[in-house]
Each structure stands twice: as C-alpha cells, then as structure tokens.
Structure 1
C-alpha cells in the first residue's frame, strides 16, 4: 500500500516564491518570513520529494532539472490560489470595489476598458469588469450590468446609447471594392453578432443570400482586427470602431449608418451593496459615451 502524504501547501508556496525571485532573501522579504524559514521549507520539500530542487550559487539560486519541471507545474496554481484568496478577502472587507458585468465583450474591450481609468481617478474605487453572455442568476454578485440583449427586471436602468451599424474596411480594401455592387463586397462576419449583416442588408435593400460572406470570427473584436488587416469588409456597431475610424485604420465603405433598433443599457443591481456608487458609474458612463458621440 502506498503511504498517503499530506500536501505541504506552505512549503510549496515558499518554493514558488523562491523560484519567482531567484533568491532566498528576496523571497523571504516578499513572504514576510526569515531567510532561515525559507530554507527550512525548501529543505522539507526536497526531503519529501527526495530530489534536489535548487542549486545554490552564493546569494542566488538556479533550478535543477527536477526543480524547473516542478516549478512550471505549480507556479500558475499557486498564483491562482493567492489571487483568489486576495479577491475573497477584498470582497469581504473592502467597500471600494465595483463589479461591472457585461454581455458585450467587444464593447467592453474597445470602449469601456480604455476609459475605466478616468472613472477610478475621480472616484475612490476599483472597478472589476467581468463578461458573461448568460443572464445573471440571483446568487451572482455584481453591481452594474451593461447589455444590449439582456433584461434585469425590477431595477433601475440607464439608456446609454442607441446602436447604429456601419460597414468598414481598411483603406486599401475599401478603395478596391467601393465602386463594385454591394453583392460583390467581400464581407467578414462575427458569430457574436449574426444579426448585423442581415439588418444592414435589409436597410440597403439587398438580398442576404446573395452577399459574399467569407471568414466568420467568434467575437467582434477578432473580426475588427481582421478588417484592419484587410481580410474583408465588416458590418459592425459604430461605437466599437470609433477609435479606428478616427485614426484611419478603418474607413467607411458605406457612408450611411443603419439604426439596428438596439439600445445599450446599464442596470443597477438591486442587491448591490453599493447602489449609490453603481448609479454614479452608470451616470458617468452615459455621459462619457454621449460626449464621445458628439466629438465623433
């Protein structure tokens, strides 16, 4: 029978910290323990494994082959445990974190994330942004929901902007195809917005089944990158490509935007512990989006 061995979590954490810093002294400082304690934990782990994990060279250390292999196996797990624990403690003891949830990862990445620093500079709060396409469940913790396709019933909502669609492409791609009939435009698409091309086509009195749709990408931000690279023309919410239209990496292939009928909304979770702050975030985001629209 194989003897069951307890997992020495403290020693593993110490080992991972030594590996990260490459030095016992700096690892001890980071952990808040003595250098001799670091040495004891590493020695205990080496004794348990019956393997040498480090080669000592003066104040610095290098991995043995076994140590390097073990470090690669445990370092991400240790970091994940530390981060999860920090987040749990912060969630219990801190009131200065706002959890913003969104069902629109491309909108979040291209529009919300770049301006979050502005909000945090003027408010004593850290903003955690999470994305999920599913409807929130009652037990899930968040303060604000930003969406165009979900509804949070019985709570306060803010209308951020109304969505319009544009067809864009790289300057070279637009120059090569703009004079052609729309049926011959090489379009690319996104699985996250399968409705975009049909809405645009109907507005332009085009039969969807006659369009030339090539590559399909999972998310809009991937399709935007493909359009910048010249892979084709893309029908996309204008708000997602404002910056690219400003700097000229993308230009309009069709001058007339098409109203999709969708509205981007922000909901304040009634179960939030920070309703006033969540409301202030919604008010701020609406103002930022409207000001950006005016300057576009």
Structure 2
C-alpha cells in the first residue's frame, strides 16, 4: 500500500541514507542496530512513497540509481545536522559524562608516549577518562571514537584536526654496541624490520645515501613496540621514530647512532570528530596532545638526541 503524500517516512529516509553510505543493506542494518529485513522493508516503503527505484543490487553490494544518488545527496547533510544537533541538546542534560574514546593507528606512539602521560590530561580536565584503542583499519563514521590519532589514515567525515608531530627517524641500539661508533656500525649489526612501517627503512637509507645491500637485514616485527625489547638487549639496531625512543635514550637503555637522524616526511595528526558525544573534551585532548608532542620534541632537542 502506498503512503499518503503528507506522511513523509522519516525512518525509511534514515535507513536509506545509511544504505547509501554503507553501500550495503546488511551493513546498514548493522550500523542501525536492526535486521536486514527491516531495512529492506524501509527501502520498499520509501521507493513506494517516491515512486522511483533507489537502488540496484550488484552482487554483494548495493549501487544507487541516478535518482537514488540524487536523493541521497539531498538528504545526507540535513540528516547529519539533525543528528548532531540532537546529540548536542541531549548532552546539555548530561554534563556528568566526562569520557572520550581515542582511536590510534600508531600503536607504539600510544604505548610509549600517549598512555604514560594520560594521567596528566585527566588531572588537567578534572578527572576525565580516556579510553584508548588501536586499529590500523580505515575508520568509518560508525566507529565509536571521539578522537583519531594517525599518520596515514584518511578521515573523510566532518572533524577538526591538529598537526601534532613532524616525524624524524633515528637509528638506535644498545649503548654497549653503539657507544663510540659512527654510522659504520650500521654495516656490521643487523637492522630490524617493522612490517607495519615498510616505508621507514627505505626512507632512512635513501636519506643517508645507502641501499639495502649496504646493511645486514635483521628479524621482522609487526610493530616498533615489539622490537624495542630486542634492540635494548640484543646485538642489533632499529630505525624508529625519534619520538617513540626518546625516553629510552634518555634513560640510557638505548643510544642513537651519531648522525643518523633524518626527517621522514610523515606528519602525525589528531582529529576530533564532529559526531563525538563530548566534542569539547575531544578538542581539549587534541590541543593537549599538541603540547605533549611539542614538549617531547624540546626535551629531545635539549638532550641532543641526534
């Protein structure tokens, strides 16, 4: 049965907007927390109301018709605005919530610098709680985080962003193996490989006019934080972001190979997403993170980590 002209099916429009965003009825149902059959029924209601086909199935995915694409583009922004406004109005009645979720695609940065300093932010913000998660996957608008800290992941949803660190690389090793030796040590000790950052070693080699034939390849680790115990105790070297090894260098567990420092060209960024349930706290966190990284860079400079 067709809908009356005056009875605009708002729930059906919301369901269709999610189908358009996810390109899948199944994924739209998951995002909305309902069943696939319910979303399909909403779609049928809306198509009946508009008198036009909105989608066409292409295997596992749902493609929009030309009319469907036009309608989706027309309603997506107003729906996002309504949802965002409703959340903001609701928060005014729930100011006791003082918690955010931070998603980092930089697990070693989170492990070595972010997490150890979180109590400082919590104290500064009157006991705010920060939940930290780590994922290398491309984020989506349905993921439950308030802040994204990343180097290479793209965030397409509305957000504010801050540049928090311009990455520099250094080659480090245990002091007993590095002390008193120059860059020549890189030809005699194996250099560990980090599979999640395949760009680091080639970038560092090129900056120092070296090739892979000039070094001894070492063991492979998924992330820098997994390799750090090996390099602090073993006869090997590691090329890593200066910011994640700075504290270990200052504590004497690692030593930088002289003249091994070079910029990588990578920038770390923090994004505070507009859909956050606590946008003020999310933005305060990003500003605090900028200060933390700036302080770390100044400490590294004064400690002459070169």
**TM-score, normalised with respect to structure 1:** 0.65
| 1:188/1:231 contact within 8 Å kept | no
Give the structure 1 partner of residue 108 of structure 2: 106
Q: 1:186 aligns with which of 185, 190, 193?
A: 190
CA deviations 1:170-210 (Å, max 9, x no partner) are 01121486473643332112112121111110001011244
Offset of residue 272 of structure 1: 0.5
How many Å separate the matches in 2 of 1:221 and 1:249? 14
Counterpart mapping for 1:2-21 below 5 A = none
CA deviations 1:57-91 (Å, max 9, x no partner) are xxxxxxxxxxxxxxxxxxxxxxxxxxxxxxxxxxx
Q: 2:132 aligns with which of 112, 115, 129?
A: 129
**TM-score, normalised with respect to structure 2:** 0.63
Structure 1 counterpart SS, 2:286:
helix
Offset of residue 274 of structure 1: 1.0
Give the structure 2 partner of residue 65 of structure 1: none
| 1:106/1:240 contact within 8 Å kept | yes
Give the structure 2 partner of residue 233 of structure 1: 237
Runs of 5+ consecutive residues of structure 2 not aligned to the other structure: 1-93, 301-306
Give the structure 1 partner of residue 254 of structure 2: 250
Counterpart mapping for 1:19-30 below 5 A = none
Q: 1:293 aligns with which of 286, 294, 297?
A: 297
How many Å separate the matches in 2 of 1:182 and 1:272? 46
CA deviations 1:11-66 (Å, max 9, x no partner) are xxxxxxxxxxxxxxxxxxxxxxxxxxxxxxxxxxxxxxxxxxxxxxxxxxxxxxxx
Give the structure 2 partner of residue 20 of structure 1: none
Structure 2 counterpart SS, 1:99:
strand
How many Å separate the matches in 2 of 1:254 and 1:185? 15
| 2:243/2:296 contact within 8 Å kept | no
Matched, 1:157 2:167: no
Offset of residue 156 of structure 1: 1.0
Counterpart mapping for 1:137-216 below 5 A = 137-153=140-156, 154-175=158-179, 178=182, 180=184, 182-216=186-220
How many Å separate the matches in 1 of 2:132 and 2:273? 15
How many Å separate the matches in 2 of 1:149 and 1:180? 32
Offset of residue 145 of structure 1: 0.2
How many Å separate the matches in 2 of 1:214 and 1:290? 32
How many Å separate the matches in 1 of 2:113 and 2:183? 31
| 1:162/1:261 contact within 8 Å kept | yes
How many Å separate the matches in 2 of 1:120 and 1:93? 16
Structure 1 stretch displaced more, 142-151 or 210-219: 210-219
How many Å separate the matches in 1 of 2:291 and 2:103? 19
Structure 1 counterpart SS, 2:201:
helix
Query: In structure 2, do the counterparts of structure 1 residues 126 and 220 end up closer, same or farther at CA, with 3 Å as the change threshold?
Result: same
How many Å separate the matches in 2 of 1:280 and 1:93? 16
Q: How many residues get paired? A: 205
